């Protein structure tokens, strides 16, 4: 076997074009952030299951991981005006993220300095001229300085200048508000590293807005749930309806420093699993996109020598330009078509593509390491007239509802998310029932999971 001559992690789907070879044939060429590769072999040992099934491990994550990492708290568009605020919770922690000046956002620990009452309810947003505690009325200015204590004659020991609301750190990037509880954490730029930062800065996500926001409780550990989205290896078994036109076994996987990884999964080409069984015309016929309605009525007959992928890219360029009222003439075929999935440690996915324009966020449910709160944001470009629509409000689904039940969810995409999450309870329970103390990972296709868990280990063990 010639494969045995390869170093560990160097094997790729045999006899198939790489993602880069697929993209290199496109008419409108892809930018450097798409055409680069950054895979590294990171070992092939099993990954211990305690991280998924042990409540003590979850507590260590609160103490050492959530308390020291940069987290996407809200979008800037949630808080456009001074005094607008958004409450971000992680476990028992809660923060009031508020705009204190046109170019300044702060995050206050959401607890009264008197007897502790939350100043704003969790899961809400709004606008404030002051933050006033509902219990006895202690009041803070929007900038966090203390304004008022009722009967201050009774509190001679309260020095107002020492009673400003404590703050977490805040950094703004690409329209996202990131917060970090750790005063000693690296800056956001150091945390992502130069390569990943340059990718994020090229996407222009600051010029998108939240057109839909769907959330659901998933009955599995937050990391297990995230990992269901980190590889295309599951597509053949889990998503048979889309597997024909997805370069699944030849998707590309990359890691950047400790905190960012990605895959590129090309669409509009026949899957290696289906090679020889489908023509280019078949691929085109069964191709669907996140929002299939944009393709209704399109001519789907290929000319001699024309590829399904090129036709799809051309069609989507036209349809999405119209639908979003934006100029996409210079956007590459790959960015229009392909699935670009980035994990930003610890709990966010960014999808900078055009046809699959999502952001995912995952958070453990406080007090239950076997449940997580999964949010899907769909991000559309701000219309050409520059008027930013209000961000969509959250549509919350319970554990047993289908994603298709959310009013703003496209049925085809909702069905994919259902498939992605329906197996998770079985996986959670299976790990708890298993005789095997670790999970086993593929060297290439599952590198994002290994990379992610190694970073989890770095935080939890230090």
Residues near ligand FES (CB under 6 A) are: 112, 114-117, 133, 135-138
Instruction: Give the position of tokens 């999935």.
Output: 341
Compute the C-alpha angle 127/133/135, nearest 5°: 140
Residue 140 CB, nearest distance to ligand FES (Å)? Answer: 10
- Nearest approach in angstroms of CB 111 to ligand FES is 9
Residue 61 tokens read as: 């994550």
Assess 76 for contact with Fe ion (CB under 5 A): no
Q: Cα separation of 104 and 116, whole Å? A: 26
What's the closest the beta carbon of residue 30 comes to other proteins, in angstroms? 37
Residue 420 interacts with which of ligand FES, other proteins, Fe ion, none, CB < 5 to 8 Å by class? Fe ion
Q: Contact 243/235 with Cβ under 8 angstroms? A: yes
Backbone angles phi, psi at 195, to 5 degrees: -65, -55
CB of 218 to ligand FES, least distance (A): 34
254 binds, among other proteins, ligand FES, Fe ion, none (CB under 5 to 8 A by kind): none
Measured from the CB atom, the residue of 117 and 241 that comes closer to ligand FES is 117
CB 135 to other proteins: min, Å: 10
Binding-site partner at residue 112 among ligand FES, Fe ion, other proteins, none, CB < 5 to 8 Å by type? ligand FES
Is 108 or 138 the residue whose CB approaches ligand FES more closely? 138
Q: Which does 84 bind (CB under 5 to 8 A by kind): ligand FES, Fe ion, other proteins, none?
A: other proteins
124 exposed, middle or buried (CB, 10 Å; 0-12, 13-18, 19+)? exposed
For residues 318 and 395, which CB has a smaller minimum distance to other proteins in the complex? 395
Beta carbon nearer to ligand FES, 29 or 115: 115
- Residue partners of 215: CB distance under 8 A and separation at least 6: 373, 374, 375, 376, 394, 395, 396, 397
CB of 128 to ligand FES, least distance (A): 15
DSSP string across 268-319: SS--GGGTTTS-HHHHHHH---TTGGGGTT---PPPTT--HHHHHHHHHHHH
> Taking a C-beta distance cutoff of 8 angstroms, is the pair 432, 40 a contact?
no
The dihedral through the CA atoms of 284, 288, 291, 293 has a sign that is: positive
Using the minimum distance from each CB to other proteins, give the nearer residue, 101 or 393. 393
Residue 231 in contact with Fe ion, rule: CB under 5 A: no
Does position 338 bind Fe ion by CB under 5 A?
no
Q: Which is nearer to ligand FES, 114 or 274 (CB)?
A: 114
Could you tell me where the DSSP H helices lie in 40-80?
A: 50-53, 55-60
Residue 136 interacts, among other proteins, ligand FES, Fe ion, none and using kind-specific CB cut-offs from 5 to 8 Å, with: ligand FES
- By CB under 5 A, tell whether 446 contacts Fe ion: no
Spell out a b/e string for 372-400, using b for 16 or more CB atoms within 10 Å of the CB, else e: bbbbbbbbbbbeeeeeeeebbeebebeee
What tokens does 86 get?
């958004």
Long-range contacts of 320-325 (CB under 8 A, 24+ apart): 320/294, 320/354, 320/355, 322/294, 323/291, 323/294, 324/380, 324/381, 324/383, 325/383, 325/384, 325/385
Residue 331 or 359: which CB sits closer to Fe ion? 359
Q: Shortest gap between Cβ of 94 and other proteins (angstroms)? A: 12
To the nearest whole angstrom, how small is the minimum distance from the Cβ of residue 361 to other proteins?
19
Query: Between 24 and 130, whose beta carbon lies closer to other proteins?
Result: 130
125 binds Fe ion (CB under 5 A): no
Complex with Fe ion: residue 331 or 356, whichever CB lies closer: 356
- Residues near other proteins (CB under 8 A): 84, 119-121, 123-130, 132, 134, 390, 392-393
User: How far, in Å, CA of 358 to CA of 341, rounded?
Assistant: 9
Cβ-proximal residues to 3 (8 Å cutoff; 6+ apart), any chain:
11, 14
Q: How far is CA 425 from the centre of its chain?
A: 21
Contact present, 370 and 220 (Cβ < 8 Å): yes
For the bound state, the minimum distance from the C-beta of residue 416 to Fe ion, rounded and expressed in Å, comes to 6
Question: Pattern of binders to Fe ion over 412-441, x per CB under 5 A?
Answer: --------x---------------------
Which CB atom, from 243 or from 310, has the smaller least distance to Fe ion? 243
**Cα radius of gyration (the chain):** 24
Query: Least separation, in Å, of the C-beta of 254 and ligand FES?
Result: 48
Whole-angstrom distance, CA of residue 19 vs CA of residue 11: 14
- The item of Fe ion, other proteins, ligand FES, none sharing an interface with residue 125, based on CB under 5 to 8 Å by kind, is other proteins
Which spans of this chain sit near Fe ion (rule: CB under 5 A)?
A: 420
């Amino acid at each position: 076997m010639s494969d045995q001559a390869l170093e560990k992690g160097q094997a790729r789907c045999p006899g198939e074009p790489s993602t880069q070879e697929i993209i290199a044939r496109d008419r409108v060429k892809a930018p450097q952030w798409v055409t680069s590769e950054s895979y590294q072999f990171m070992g092939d040992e099993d990954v211990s299951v305690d991280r998924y099934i042990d409540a003590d491990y979850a507590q260590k994550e609160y103490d050492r991981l959530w308390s020291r990492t940069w987290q996407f708290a809200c979008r800037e568009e949630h808080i456009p005006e001074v005094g607008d605020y958004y409450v971000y919770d992680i476990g028992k922690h809660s923060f009031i993220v508020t705009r204190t000046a046109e170019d300044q956002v702060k995050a206050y620990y959401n607890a009264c300095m008197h007897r502790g009452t939350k100043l704003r309810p969790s899961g809400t947003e709004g606008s404030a001229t002051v933050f006033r505690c509902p219990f006895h009325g202690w009041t803070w200015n929007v900038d966090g300085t203390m304004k008022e204590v009722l009967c201050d004659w009774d509190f001679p020991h309260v020095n107002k200048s020492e009673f400003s609301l404590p703050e977490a750190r805040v950094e703004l990037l690409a329209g996202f508000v990131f917060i970090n509880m750790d005063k000693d954490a690296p800056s956001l730029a150091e945390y992502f590293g130069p390569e990943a930062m340059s990718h994020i800065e090229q996407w222009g996500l600051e010029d998108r807005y939240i057109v839909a926001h769907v959330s659901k409780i998933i009955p599995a550990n937050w990391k297990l749930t995230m990992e269901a989205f980190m590889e295309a290896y599951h597509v053949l078994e889990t998503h048979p309806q889309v597997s024909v036109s997805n370069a699944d076994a030849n998707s590309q996987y990359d890691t950047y420093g400790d905190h960012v990884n990605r895959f590129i999964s090309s669409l509009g080409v026949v899957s290696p699993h289906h090679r020889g069984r489908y023509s280019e015309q078949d691929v085109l016929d069964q191709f669907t996109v996140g929002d299939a309605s944009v393709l209704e009525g399109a001519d789907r007959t290929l000319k001699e020598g024309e590829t399904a992928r090129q036709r799809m890219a051309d069609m989507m360029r036209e349809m999405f330009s119209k639908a979003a009222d934006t100029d996409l003439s210079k956007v590459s075929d790959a960015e229009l078509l392909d699935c670009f999935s980035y994990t930003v440690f610890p709990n966010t996915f960014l999808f900078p593509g055009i046809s699959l324009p999502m952001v995912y966020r995952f958070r453990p449910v406080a007090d239950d390491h076997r449940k997580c709160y999964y949010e899907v944001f769909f991000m559309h470009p701000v219309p050409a007239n520059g008027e930013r629509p209000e961000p969509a409000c959250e549509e919350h689904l319970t554990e047993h509802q289908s994603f298709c039940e959310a009013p703003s969810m496209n049925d085809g995409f909702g069905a994919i998310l259902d498939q992605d999450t329906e197996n998770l309870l079985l996986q959670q329970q299976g790990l708890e029932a298993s005789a095997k103390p670790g999970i086993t990972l593929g060297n290439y296709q599952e590198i994002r999971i290994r990379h992610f868990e190694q970073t989890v280990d770095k935080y939890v063990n230090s």
